[in-house]
Structure 1
Amino acid sequence: MEDSVSIQNTTRGKVLTLPLVKILQIKNKILGKKYTLSLAFVGTCTARKINLQTRNKTYTPNTLSFQYTTNSGEIILCPVIIKKQALQNKAKYADYLAFILIHSLLHLKGLDHGIKMELLEQKLVKEFGYKL
């Protein structure tokens, strides 16, 4: 299957401010067209519970990335935390969401936090027309 992205919103609000076409373009650039991606928007309680169960961490994360196979994975996004961080960073929600999506996709590609990842994030955010 090509260009596959499934999106699930388990929150009570509207969360997606990035066009699906843009999400596909970003996903394809980082992981390729054959990669099957699931995006799940969850509330703070769910994000914290998943973080505790999978990483033994007690805080509420903005995102969690899970690689299932070489060509499939899932990104859990917590819009409440992402919105708070966007405000703290004086960024628009859509721009910050794009940054978090890029960050998460790079984790699925196998990159870890560090200067190489940060430089690539900055390059991709700019390339896709977002600002931080």
Structure 2
Amino acid sequence: MAGVSITNLTQPIPKGLGSSFIKVAKEVLPGWDLSLVFVGPTKARALNVQLRGKDYIPNVLSYVVGEKSGEIIICPSEAAKQVSSFQLPLSSFLLLLFIHGALHIKG
């Protein structure tokens, strides 16, 4: 069964984004199971080192887990530091990061 599971391991996320993430996932990766995880900076950095060998805090990471299955990891605190450069509300920037991650998974 295709869908999106959302896990928040960090600060509160703006309300109403869940349905937007699901809509994007259905459009960009139809039939896929996606896991979206919000993490803090320590976990984001550790995953970036583990998955990519890069030692910095990323705003988003994404990767394929299996056939039609992927994971997108977003660090909201890092996104909050960068959002002013994009002149967007944080909720829109988080959605943009999700789209970016989904497109990486799509290839």
Shorter-normalised TM-score: what interval? Answer: over 0.9
* TM-score, scaled relative to structure 2: 0.92
SS in 1 for 2:94: helix
Residues of 2 paired with 1:106 and 1:81: CA distance? 20
* TM-score, scaled relative to structure 1: 0.76
Q: Deviations over 1:65-97 (max 9, x none)?
A: 010123101001000011111123221101111
Displacement of 1:15: 1.7
Contiguous gaps of at least 5 residues in structure 2: none
**Structure of greater Rg:** 1
SS in 2 for 1:91: coil
1:69 to 62, 66, 70: 66
Residues of 2 paired with 1:50 and 1:16: CA distance? 24
Report what 1:7 is aligned to.
6
- The answer to whether the aligner puts 1:101 opposite 2:106 as a matched pair is no
- The answer to whether the aligner puts 1:90 opposite 2:61 as a matched pair is no
Q: Matched residues, percent identical?
A: 37
Asked if structure 2 preserves the Cα contact closer than 8 Å seen for 1:18 and 1:98, the reply is no
2:53 to 48, 56, 70: 56
The structure whose RCO (Cα within 8 Å, separation 6+) is larger is 2
